[in-house]
Amino acid sequence: MEIIHTPREMTAWANRTRAAAETIALVPTMGAFHDGHLALMRAAAQRADRLVVSLFVNPIQFGASEDLDRYPRNLKRDAELAAAQGTDILFAPAAEAMYPRGFATKVGVAGLTDTLCGASRPGHFDGVTTVVAKLFNLVKPQVAVFGEKDFQQLAVIRRMVADLAWDIDVVGHPIVREADGLAMSSRNVYLAPEERQAALGLSRALAHARQRVAAGETDTERLLAGVRQALLARPGVTIDYLSVVHGQSLVAQERIDADSVLLVAALVGTTRLIDNTPLP
């Protein structure tokens, strides 16, 4: 595996690979790899000749009071893990390389970013779409794989790719969970032992919601009331949002149907976690 640090080198490699008629798959990440990231890499490697994993803690998607400075970083460990999954290129640029002095361009997706995490984290998705657009231009992938845990992010990226007519297959990979059901996240390392137990409330509340729907529940308000009660029964859990939406448009639904997805964001102590589940 080769580690590339500059956009110029990344573009040169991508141009050579394309000229050799080899296909490229990209997995964009912020590092601090866990088994969820590794599953994305393995899935991406099966879809193209060459695999690029980007590792970039993107400063413009963090709010002023968020965890940019303390976000977990370990390039040596991440490089070893990426190499073990068959990664060809680890693209690990510095912030000043991605956003040089005078950088003034922003890529935004209207509508899909107005609610859920977009409402709670103003400017977050503009930072996400800007960096992903730049990664697409540098790496030139035919396939890009994203985790479905960041459900709104996946919908936003798909909308951007469709609107800008990029010839890129955006693939969603199912949520990878710990043995006890907690969705894997780099931020899980922030959780104290008692918070880790409280965090299990998210996945267990979603499982309860699935059972309710399987038993015939179709009223969103009744379903959310039960989920809310289950979450708030956990000590130290504060709900950011809890919503049933259409899986593509992200429009909130009053009735549950075949396209419904339940999304939750909550603070466990001071750690913000997200999770989701299809309901049918």
Measured distance CA(35)–CA(185) in Å, rounded: 9
250 in Cβ contact with 178 (< 8 Å): no
251 inside domain: yes
Cα atoms in the Cβ-side hemisphere of radius 13 Å centred on 102: 0
Quick one: tokens of 214?
């399987």
In terms of domains, do 35 and 125 share one?
A: yes
What CATH number is attached to the domain comprising 14? 3.40.50.620
In terms of domains, do 168 and 127 share one?
A: yes
In terms of domains, do 192 and 272 share one?
A: yes
Q: Which of 37, 124, 173, 208 is catalytic?
A: 37
Is residue 82 left, alpha or beta, with left meaning phi > 0 and alpha meaning psi from -120 to 50? Answer: alpha
Measured distance CA(59)–CA(69) in Å, rounded: 9
In terms of domains, do 64 and 29 share one?
A: yes
Domain tally for the chain?
Answer: 2
9 inside domain: yes
116 in Cβ contact with 265 (< 8 Å): yes
Closest of 168, 187, 151 to residue 73, by C-alpha = 187
Place of tokens 């940019």: 68
76 inside domain: yes
- Considering 113, 145, 173, which residue would you say is the last residue of a domain? 173
Measured distance CA(189)–CA(74) in Å, rounded: 13
The whole-number pLDDT of residue 65 equals: 87
201 inside domain: yes
181 inside domain: no
Quick one: tokens of 236?
């130290």
In terms of domains, do 96 and 70 share one?
A: yes
Measured distance CA(275)–CA(4) in Å, rounded: 32
What is the DSSP code (8-state) at residue 270?
T
37 is catalytic: yes
- Considering 139, 173, 207, which residue would you say is the last residue of a domain? 173
73 inside domain: yes
What is the DSSP code (8-state) at residue 186?
G
Whole-number Cα distances in Å, 76 to 81, 250, 280: 9, 38, 42
244 inside domain: yes
In terms of domains, do 90 and 124 share one?
A: yes
98 inside domain: yes
In terms of domains, do 51 and 91 share one?
A: yes
In terms of domains, do 34 and 58 share one?
A: yes
The whole-number pLDDT of residue 68 equals: 93
Domain residues for the domain of 161 are: 2-173
Question: What SS3 state is found at 231?
Answer: helix
Q: Which long-range contacts (CB under 8 A, 24 or more apart) does 19-22 make?
A: 22/48, 22/49, 22/50
In terms of domains, do 165 and 207 share one?
A: no
The CA angle 164-277-39, to the nearest 5 degrees, is 70
In terms of domains, do 168 and 49 share one?
A: yes
pLDDT tens string, the chain, 280 residues long: the values are: 999 999 999 999 999 999 999 999 999 999 999 999 999 999 999 999 999 999 999 999 999 889 999 999 999 999 999 999 999 999 999 999 999 999 999 999 999 999 999 999 999 999 999 999 999 999 999 999 999 999 999 999 999 999 999 999 999 999 999 999 999 999 999 999 999 999 999 999 999 999 999 999 999 999 999 999 999 999 999 999 999 999 999 999 999 999 999 999 999 999 999 999 999 8
In terms of domains, do 139 and 266 share one?
A: no
What is the DSSP code (8-state) at residue 7?
H
What CATH number is attached to the domain comprising 252? 3.30.1300.10
In terms of domains, do 153 and 254 share one?
A: no
